[in-house]
Structure 1
């Protein structure tokens, strides 16, 4: 397939997948210790996990646009669809451009929407849901195991498994040292990101890990400079872990 057509197809897939994320982002964005949301703010039961975050039973809310929620002028209650669509489309297009027609691209395109969803949820409530992080790691290893059986792949499943264990173990040590600075959800997420980075080898694991910590440090430093946080303020690290993994994966895929 022509590279340009592949990138366009991946972007369209990402846009379609991203359009189904807002409701899940709202339902998973419950504060720590609380159950996942089963109702919209108006008290109406939510049906399903995928789709737009709008409730046909709620009265119109003209103030929705000012609140930055989905369904401005209607009964929107969660994150807007457009940013999630754009983010997922861009991520999938970048992965396609870096990976080309190699079979592991299918794995990256399936995992990308989950990564975007995890990023959105962690930014909103500083929580990485187990129903997303653990299946993400399991799916990554299982799908890469199948990909390793397909000709023309460019990675190694054994290194993916070891990368998952190494990164998960490393984050677990950091969690034990400083539980206030590193959540256990980050540890479980590291199992999945370690797997995808490990597919392309240890240099990719190190690059993705370093990029995540660097981005997190820059963000925290910017908050301190802007006086929106202190040096002891905890931030959601999941988005930077995922973004760092994405950057490492793009470099690893491009150079493989």
Structure 2
């Protein structure tokens, strides 16, 4: 960490607030097939929303959660997503600026910046894909598929500037392993795993593999832990049965971020039980 770290974390948080506003738009319009370039409008009266009312969180508070034209309520989801994205961006920036002092890419400022940008991007798609999957039980190709070239380019450039080719190789192997694993699960039980989950698995494996094998293993494992606990809770509450389909994307994503933030520590602690070190 440097003296600039607090400033960079604050800047990341402010960027996250703005991105969160955009993610709300994406989560609503992509499944509905509405162009992202269209101006924001009230879903009730179709009146264009003024720019001053589009300021993240503050705009919603200023309007007291109601449309300025017709008074229709505006969902609290909008400011919550904006605020959560701001916090998430700040947390990701702080973590990557502080947690990897001994890695080649963290010692090279340009490479570090590229890695931070890559994981901020991963945070953004994690949030929007979670919202869409919970709403529609879909993980749109329009978001998932472009994430492959974006992530690969950013991490390849980071490896190029830092000469950290082992990290890039792990990322590629992680992408292949998780994609193949989910693909096999879909073949074995077609109704139990969606095609979107398979495609997302490759992205998750790419980002986890870059960090380390522990992150990859923990992230993949905890996705099923979280999904299983959620499914059991629904059955106990009588809101689902054994064959009820539940969106798995959010649990893949939650598992992935568990692997990012704690995977290496959990993996090392687990291995120490057997090595005695």
TM-score range, shorter chain: 0.7 to 0.9
Offset at residue 153 of structure 1 (A): 6.6
Aligned partner (choices 2, 5, 8) of residue 7 of structure 2 = 5
Structure 2 matches for 1:220-231, cutoff 5 A? 220-231=231-242
Structure 2 matches for 1:100-249, cutoff 5 A? 100=97, 102=106, 103=112, 104-151=115-162, 156-249=167-260
Change over 3 Å in CA distance of 1:99–1:252 after alignment to 2: farther
Offset at residue 121 of structure 1 (A): 0.3
2:184, 2:40 → 1: CA distance? 39
- The answer on whether the counterparts of 1:98 and 1:253 sit within 8 Å (CA) in structure 2 is no
Change over 3 Å in CA distance of 1:8–1:231 after alignment to 2: same
- TM-score norm. by structure 2 comes to 0.74
Offset at residue 58 of structure 1 (A): 2.2
1:80, 1:52 → 2: CA distance? 16
1:188-215 per-position Cα deviation (integer Å, ceiling 9, x unaligned): 0011111000101222111111111111
- The answer on whether the counterparts of 2:186 and 2:192 sit within 8 Å (CA) in structure 1 is yes
- TM-score norm. by structure 1 comes to 0.80
- The answer on whether the counterparts of 1:163 and 1:205 sit within 8 Å (CA) in structure 2 is yes
Change over 3 Å in CA distance of 1:136–1:78 after alignment to 2: farther
1:178, 1:192 → 2: CA distance? 22
2:66, 2:247 → 1: CA distance? 27
2:37 is equivalent to residue 48 of structure 1: yes
> Which secondary structure does the structure 2 equivalent of 1:162 belong to?
helix
Aligned partner (choices 13, 20, 33) of residue 37 of structure 1 = 33
Offset at residue 114 of structure 1 (A): 1.6
Change over 3 Å in CA distance of 1:253–1:11 after alignment to 2: farther
Which runs of 5 or more structure 1 residues have no equivalent in the other structure? 30-35, 39-45, 61-69
Q: How many residues align?
A: 234
Q: Higher Cα Rg: structure 1 or 2? A: 2
1:1-49 per-position Cα deviation (integer Å, ceiling 9, x unaligned): 43333322222121111111122111223xxxxxx433xxxxxxx5627
Offset at residue 140 of structure 1 (A): 1.2
Large movers: runs of 4+ above 4 Å = 70-79, 152-155, 252-255
Which runs of 5 or more structure 2 residues have no equivalent in the other structure? 49-64, 99-105, 107-111, 267-277
2:45, 2:127 → 1: CA distance? 28
1:119-157 per-position Cα deviation (integer Å, ceiling 9, x unaligned): 110010000000111111221112100111223979711
2:150, 2:261 → 1: CA distance? 19
Larger proportion of helix: 2
RMSD: 3.0
Match of 1:26 in 2: 28
1:79, 1:128 → 2: CA distance? 23
Aligned partner (choices 46, 54, 58) of residue 46 of structure 2 = 58
